[in-house]
Amino acid sequence: MNIVITEWQAISHNGDLSPDIFSEFGDVTAYPATPDDKLIENIKDADIILCNKVLITEEVIKSCPKLKYIGVLATGYNNIDTEAAKVRGIPVCNAGTYSTDAVAQYVFAQILYHYNKIHVYNKDVRDGGWIKSPIFSYFPYPTYELKGKILAIIGFGSIGRQVAKIGDAFGMKIIVNTRTKPSDCPYELVSLEDAFSRADVLTIHSPLTPATKSMVSREKLALMKKNALIINSARGPVIDEQALADALNEGRIAAAGLDVLEHEPMRPDTPLRDIPKCTITPHIAWAPLETRERLLTIARDNLRAYFSGDPQNVVNP
């Protein structure tokens, strides 16, 4: 079996993980990255493709006559024409909930970054601010408790549930907007408009679909409190970036914490790039070492299940 990994650098940027985890299934070729114009050339003889964000279109699938299996080294699979794969009898298997804990942890890193301002105080102390203080406790920058703040969660899958659990532990008031009403949600379910208008912190955990594209619009942002924080660790295009930039620049909301953008890698002209109130990280919420190890283990187990005749985590059954 010829196994091709299209973007190994997206899994192991510094050699801390090895593609040999898949060698029990065949010969493994791991490309650091695969640009669009090299994709078909790199995978045309593959029996198995393991990919992350490259576009596996119908044309690409037709160009790979040996292809039997597509493994997604991620949860999202909107980059793959799953119907075209299904017509060819090719299962597409994703990695499910591998990043739940890591992404929930990231959300609260952004929340605490905003509410506790440790980064601001650390810089001020190093610049000599505390040395000049006439009293022992020096707090020129306001900080706030999370207890009692309204945490609005859009999307109540595994990540949304974990974020709610952590927020609950902090004493936050949890409200949830979700497409399908869960049977076991202990929190208040609200409309999308209510989520935006009531949130002190609004965090997005919904997939990218035609319905969610540009969901964070100029109109929705106009509903938010001036002291509200918005966090996106889902997919960049759920936010209208120019509308968010305008809301931040005009002081209509307090801050944003983004791990994803509409275009990745970030383009130089993104309207959010130079806004101090917008904290941007380069799609790293999912990237702790333990999380990436779990991702590879799930992908390996998916392959074992496929070869045993009982595929698991199939998104195009």
Longest distance between any two alpha carbons in the chain, whole Å: 75
Give CA–CA dist 32/138, Å, rounded.
Answer: 48
Give CA–CA dist 64/26, Å, rounded.
Answer: 17
Give the residue among 50, 76, 43, 30 at the shortest CA–CA distance from 306.
Answer: 50
Respond yes or no: is residue 283 known to be catalytic: yes
Instruction: Please tell me which residue in 264, 267, 290, 304 is annotated as part of the active site.
Output: 264
Q: How is 90-107 classified by DSSP, letter by letter? A: --EE--TTTTHHHHHHHH
DSSP symbol at 306: H
Q: Where are the alpha helices (DSSP H) in the chain?
A: 39-43, 58-62, 82-87, 100-116, 118-126, 158-169, 192-198, 218-221, 241-249, 289-307
Respond yes or no: is residue 119 known to be catalytic: no
Instruction: Please tell me which residue in 114, 198, 235, 294 is annotated as part of the active site.
Output: 235
Give the residue among 188, 260, 194 at the shortest CA–CA distance from 225.
Answer: 194
Question: Are the C-beta atoms of residues 276 and 257 closer than 8 Å to each other?
Answer: no
Respond yes or no: is residue 273 known to be catalytic: no
Question: Are the C-beta atoms of residues 206 and 238 closer than 8 Å to each other?
Answer: yes
Catalytic residue annotation: 235, 264, 283
